[in-house]
């Protein structure tokens, strides 16, 4: 069974990367409402960069876990 995190990123039928609108909306809302306006070289800019990197590594770790636990599952390459 695919994890909820990856199921939103994978088009299971086509096995291609495809982020859902729901996930994109959530990410945009977090950046705009929680972090706020991000002018270059501001604290908000640094927070948004850290959040994006942390999120990418979280997805990579989940991908690696899925590949380990389900070798017959989707053929994923987990690269950040």
Query: How many CB atoms are closer than 10 A to CB 26?
Result: 12
Instruction: Give the pLDDT confidence score for residue 20 in this predicted structure.
Output: 66
Q: What pLDDT does residue 36 have?
A: 76
Give the residue, 7 or 65, on which the prediction is more confident.
65
Q: Is there a domain that residue 37 lies in?
A: yes
Quick check: is 65 in a domain? yes
For residue range 14-70, list pLDDT tens digits in order: 554 555 677 777 777 887 888 777 778 888 888 888 988 998 898 889 888 888 888
Residue 77's pLDDT is: 82
Tell me what pLDDT residue 50 has: 92
4-15: average pLDDT: 54
- Domain range enclosing 26: 4-69
3-state secondary structure (DSSP) of residue 69: helix
Q: What is the total count of domains within the chain?
A: 1
């Amino acid at each position: 069974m695919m994890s909820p995190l990856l199921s939103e990123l994978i088009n299971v039928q086509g096995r291609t990367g495809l982020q859902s609108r729901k996930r994109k909306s959530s990410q945009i809302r977090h950046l705009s409402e929680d972090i706020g306006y991000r002018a270059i070289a501001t604290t908000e800019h640094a927070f948004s960069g850290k959040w994006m990197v942390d999120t990418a590594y979280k997805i990579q770790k989940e991908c690696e876990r899925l590949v380990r636990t389900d070798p017959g599952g989707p053929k994923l390459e987990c690269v950040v």
